[in-house]
Amino acid sequence: MIPAQFDYEAPESLEQAVRMLHENGEDAKLIAGGHSLLPLMKLRLAAPTLLVDLRNIPGLHGIQRENGNWRIGTLTRHADLQDAPELGVASVAAGQIADQQVRNRGTIGGSLAHGDPASDLPAVLLALEGQVSAQGTDGLRQIAAADLFQDFLTTAVGESEILTEIRLPLLDGYGFGYHKFNRRQEDWAMVAACALVKRGADGTCEDVRIGLTHMGSTPLRATAAEQALRGRPLDAASIAAAAEQAAEGTDPPADLNASEDYKRHLARVLTRRALEDASS
């Protein structure tokens, strides 16, 4: 439970931090809240020789409304999202991460860059069709949520890149629902479902987005369920029929908590509940 020895730097600018990452290659790791990285280091599953702490870099915190989006600094903590109900489903999901101690330290950028398919915020970003900004030696680039999560704990953020901000579309007129299933409050999700629904003038489903947590090696969209509901009446029967498709195309990892079949069952039930909330 004691990490291997490492050096520590806390640069005061983004440029310095990028340079440190670039010069030290895979030996260097960024640290934000430390609540995913430090447990891995204590288990010696990660052994960086240099930790680059983002804490002294200005401009990486906070939530602003800007051009139809929420702009969220990468170091914004889960607790700050939880305390910002205007963010809708992102706030509700952040409030269900682990316990208050973890939420007081963990950051949105750390969670998205880590890319754990069992984490809550990646599937929310995917359903919202948000994007992240990453600063590297070649400048700043935007990465759409659909391109960010590549494999288990693998994202499109490069080794010398720093995720600086997250943009979530406001999605005015959409209802939302978020349902997570775990045995204890502080546990990761066995499965979670995030739903966003826009009701058309005639009462049918004009648009629907569903994000699933822990149903594969990356967060996923439940596209079959989305297609089944789009254009249909937003009533109990249509929602239940669409939710039956929620596990189509998924490949959930079995673990000590749940078999693959049980996870598929959870995906169907949680998607139905999330859709019901989003449509009410």
Ligand X SMILES: Cc1cc2nc3c(=O)[nH]c(=O)nc-3n(C[C@H](O)[C@H](O)[C@H](O)COP(=O)(O)OP(=O)(O)OC[C@H]3O[C@@H](n4cnc5c(N)ncnc54)[C@H](O)[C@@H]3O)c2cc1C
Q: Determine the interface stretch with ligand X among 156-164, 167-175, 228-236, 258-266 (rule: CB under 6 A).
A: 156-164
117 near ligand X, rule: CB under 6 A: no
Instruction: Give alpha helix (H) positions in the chain.
Output: 14-24, 37-42, 78-82, 89-94, 100-105, 108-114, 120-128, 145-148, 223-229, 236-243, 260-279
Beta bridge partners of 168: 70
DSSP code at position 73: E
Site for ligand X in 24-43 (CB under 6 A): 29-37, 39
The count of chain residues that interact with ligand X, using the rule CB under 6 A, is: 31
d(CA 256, CA 279): 34
Q: Which is nearer to ligand X, 186 or 235 (CB)?
A: 186
Tokens 């170091």 belong to residue: 75
C-alpha closest to that of 126 among 35, 245, 210, 183? 210
Binds ligand X by CB under 6 A, chosen from 69, 111, 238, 271: 111
Per CB under 6 A, 120 contacts ligand X = yes
Query: Contact between 143 and ligand X (CB under 6 A)?
Result: no
163 binds ligand X (CB under 6 A): yes
Q: Give the whole-angstrom CA distance, residue 78 versus residue 140.
A: 24
- Under the criterion CB under 6 A, does residue 162 sit at the interface with ligand X? yes
Q: Which is nearer to ligand X, 23 or 235 (CB)?
A: 23
Question: Contacting ligand X (CB under 6 A), which of 186, 235, 255, 261?
Answer: 186
For residue 110, state whether it binds ligand X (rule: CB under 6 A).
yes
Which x/- pattern, by CB under 6 A, does the window 63-92 give for ligand X? Answer: -----------x---x--------------
Q: Which of 82, 74, 81 is nearest to 57 (CA)?
A: 74
CB of 134 to ligand X, least distance (A): 7
Select from 83, 80, 61 the least CA-distant residue to 71.
61
Q: Are strands 63-66 and 69-73 parallel, antiparallel or unpaired?
A: antiparallel
Binding footprint of ligand X on the chain (CB under 6 A): 29-37, 39, 54, 74, 78, 97-98, 102, 106-107, 109-111, 113-114, 119-121, 157, 162-163, 186, 188
